[in-house]
Amino acid sequence: MKTYYLIAVFLLIFVIPNQSVKPNNSKNVVVENVADIKDFKKVLRTKTNVLVCFTNNMKQSANIVKIFKEAAVTVKGQGTMVLVNCGSDAKKMCKKLKVNPEFYVLKHYKDGEFNKDYDRKETVQSMVNFMRDPTGDLPWEEDATANNVLHISDAASLAKFLRKESKPILIIGFQSLAKFLRKESKPILIMFYAPWCGFCKSMKPEYAAAASELQGEAVLAAIDVNRPENAIIRTQYNISGFPTLLYYENGHLKYQYEGENTKVGLVSFVRNPQEPPPKIKEPEWSDTDSEIVHLTTNSFDPVIKEEVSVLVMFYAPWCGHCKRMKPEYEKAAALMKTEKIPGMLAAIDATKEQSIATRYQIKGYPTVKYFSYGEVKFDVNVRESAKIVDFMRNPKEAPALPPKEVHWSEEPTDVIHLNEESFKPFLKKKKHVLVMFYTPWCGHCKKAKPEFSKAAEHFREDPKVEFAAVDCTVHQSLCNTNDVKGYPTIKYFSYYKSEKQYSGGRTAADFIRFMKDPDQPMVGKTKKAVTDEWLHEKSVVHLTDNTFKNEINADDPVLVMFYAPWCAHCKRMKPDYTAVAQQLKDEGLKCKLAMLDCTTNPVIAEEYAISGFPTLKLFKNGKYVTDYRGTRSQEDIRSFIKTHMSSTKDEL
């Protein structure tokens, strides 16, 4: 107990005075003289982590400015806080930046580029947490679902804690931790965690749920020991891995929790705490009998340099993926020996032989690399015995995967991407906005995107004109609200009060011409609304996002045509498709020909990655069977469906 007092005195004398906020000094750490766009851009070029408070009225924004300045004191050295008065000298600059706050708005810039609008609580602690990790997850103590967890913060909160009454609090400091542990009569479970820890992330909701169920019975607390100011706690409690859970009764450590990371496991343990069973030490992999050659720092180079074909598995003993791969790797080595396949399968514990792991930049486990005469050739992504053996028979580098298509919202354009929350507020503030409602798979959308982006770039310096986009596969309800029936649907809005359908051309010049004078008659090809005549066809089954799964979940085959009403190929195929459907119906055959309009049913279209029209897919028992790749004639369609039918007549 004497140790607790010594640490508490140390922190009271040295830590708290250094971390206390002095408002008189806050002006020195907030950049306030930025009124020119060149100076602003210079700040973004020279600083990597910048939070800007744009205000139109310093008096009405006094509270947020006070919080902003207090946070700046703690953030000093970790980020830059800039205060811009758009109602005074910085008016022109704000106009160029298209920032026009009603009272204030906080925007974050990272590595010279706009990152996001500040969306956390407007408190000093929340602002500091954000600036420490602006691209990270919401801190656990700010998560509303974890309100029943007692969040232990840092030493700086001690003074506030001591001044307050002895009512329940959610944040306490380190010095109060020992006192808290001694005085709290209920059992206490403390989770020591790090925000980046994957196991911690998956455990958090379970821990919060357990805290809610155990209210009144026990206290479940948590502390982020990854913070620099909590290094002393990490040392004091000997925290070497995450998460670590310690159980206390009457101020004394009783057990370390080593059960399941679930609500049920936690609740069961707290209600009936028991010492964990002794751990059975697993044998070293290198001590087991197998055909694997186990390497060390001393043996690695001599062995690898002599062999023409070597596969090396870099592993960690605790790694779950490695444990699953080990028996497969051993099986492959045994098969290679039996079948006399040339080559060697080797393994090295990267946590022990760190110099070798560092040399080959091992970042994850298992990492498998192929060597020939000491030279690393390439990484190999095989973990099953059969695939490992096949690879060693003919060691070749796998072809590179095609680059992943970047979502439009992640491309560097001047188009604003909206969602359910931002749509209405954004449009209300803007005089002229052209909005494209689209889907990523739509061919016409893909053609229109670069033209739309060029037009947006043309109006970059005009704060009255904006180009926006909504992904209807993500924000379906928003698209339904705006009566989107096909893609792309482009609409013009003015302050959200007036709107009209855009039906002009889809080149950058067409968009620019329209936005220069939205009231003029539209130039370009005007499309009449497409009426879907297919709905009148009785021989085919008409599917929707809601009915699709039920309709195809039948024993009999279902051929589905994915189409778009405007598609010329679909229109030409329609007579033959419906004729076959009627013929099969007349013959009493147990099968269905169905259709789905992809422009009005984006969920199913997205699920089956429909990228062209018409696309025909066969289903049976609710499962996809194959695509139809024949001609679009009656004969071929009829022949295809019949070959996939099971007999519907009794044998005589």
The gap from C-alpha 445 to its chain's centroid, in whole angstroms, comes to 24
Could you give the 3-state DSSP secondary structure of residue 89? coil
How far apart, in whole angstroms, are the C-alpha atoms of residue 50 and residue 116?
A: 11
- What is the C-alpha separation between 226 and 244, in angstroms, rounded? 12
DSSP string, 183-197: H--S-EEEEEE-TT-
Active site residue 570: yes
What angle do the packed helices 263-271 and 198-213 form, to 10 degrees? 50
Expressed in angstroms, the distance from the first to the final Cα of the chain is 92
Q: Is 567 a catalytic residue?
A: yes
* Identity of residue 365: Y
- Those residues whose C-beta lies under 8 Å from the C-beta of residue 320, and which sit 6 or more positions away, are none
List the catalytic residue out of 94, 445, 479, 598.
Answer: 445
How far is it between the farthest Cα atoms of the chain?
100
Q: Helices 385-393 & 320-338, crossing angle to 10 degrees?
A: 50
Length of the chain: 652
- CA angle, 481 then 482 then 488, to 5°: 130
Interatomic CA distance for residues 51 and 83, integer angstroms: 9
Query: What one-character-per-residue DSSP string does 282-317 give?
Result: PPPGGGS-SSPEEP-HHHHHHHHHH-SSEEEEEE-T
Give the tokens for residue 163: 């001044």
What is the rounded distance in angstroms from the CA atom of residue 606 to the CA atom of residue 600? Answer: 12
**Of 451, 511, 486, 493, whose CA–CA distance to 563 is shortest?**
486
Q: Which of these is catalytic: 322, 570, 591, 598?
A: 570
Per DSSP, the three-state class of 402 is coil
> Across-strand partners of 302?
none
Bridge pairing between strands 541-543 and 592-597: parallel
Active-site entry in 442, 472, 479, 591:
442
Which one from 94, 479, 567, 591 is the annotated catalytic residue? 567
Torsion angle (degrees, nearest 10) of CA 472, 478, 479, 482: -160
Contact of 555 with 617, CB cutoff 8 Å: no
**Amino acid code (one letter) for 199:** F
Least Cα distance to 267 among 192, 183, 199, 187 occurs for 187
Nearest 5°: the CA angle 307, 309, 310 is: 85
Burial of residue 119 (CB within 10 Å: 0-12, 13-18, 19+) is exposed
Q: Active site includes 479?
A: no
Spell out the long-range contacts of 374-378 with Cβ–Cβ below 8 A and sequence spacing 24 or more.
374/301, 374/304, 374/305
Q: Encoding tokens for residue 334?
A: 């045994």
The catalytic residue positions are 442, 445, 567, 570
